[in-house]
């Protein structure tokens, strides 16, 4: 009879060990999944931003030459386009918390904790 209790305790310990090993593996896989989604989104954003910046660069140069041609002074066209970008930069700097910092932080937090919300909704 004492051996029977010992075998049950040993079996319980083995099951607990297997359970915790599985939980650790699940946590690792969940972290890897969240990290890979975050990195892939960041890469996509960087690529899209690069293409957009190249477009804006060439469009700005074209606009500067066009304005310069209208004013018969190329430098004036570049000065006007540069001043426009300076104004936009100042506006962005003043409103950076509301339109840049907070949305980016919220997006990252939402991506990191999206699975936990889905798991809680299923329960």
Distance, in Å, from the CA atom of 87 to the CA atom of 58, rounded to the nearest integer, reads 19
pLDDT tens-digit readout, 5-63: 678 888 899 999 999 999 999 999 988 988 898 889 889 999 999 999 999 999 999 99
pLDDT tens-digit readout, 58-117: 999 999 999 999 999 999 999 999 999 999 999 999 998 888 888 888 888 888 787 566
Specify burial of residue 29 (Cβ count, 10 A radius: 0-12, 13-18, 19+): exposed
Half-sphere exposure of 21 (CA within 13 A, CB side): 6
Per-residue confidence (pLDDT) for residue 110, from 0 to 100: 83
Per-residue confidence (pLDDT) for residue 91, from 0 to 100: 94
To 10 degrees, what angle do helices 2-71 and 74-94 make? 150
* 121 pLDDT above the threshold of 70: no
* 120 pLDDT above the threshold of 80: no
Query: Is residue 34 within 8 Å of 112, Cβ to Cβ?
Result: yes
Sign of the torsion angle spanned by Cα atoms 77, 83, 86, 92: negative
């Amino acid at each position: 009879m004492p051996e029977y209790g010992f075998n049950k305790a040993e079996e319980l310990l083995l099951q607990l060990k297997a359970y915790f090993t599985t939980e650790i593996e699940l946590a690792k896989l969940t972290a890897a999944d969240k990290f890979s989604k975050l990195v892939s989104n960041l890469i996509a954003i960087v690529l899209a931003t690069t293409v957009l910046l190249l477009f804006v660069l060439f469009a700005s140069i074209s606009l500067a030459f066009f304005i310069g041609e209208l004013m018969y002074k190329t430098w004036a066209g570049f000065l006007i386009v540069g001043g426009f970008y300076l104004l936009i930069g100042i506006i962005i700097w003043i409103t950076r918390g509301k339109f840049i910092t907070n949305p980016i932080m919220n997006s990252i937090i939402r991506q990191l904790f999206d699975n936990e919300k889905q798991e809680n909704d299923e329960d």
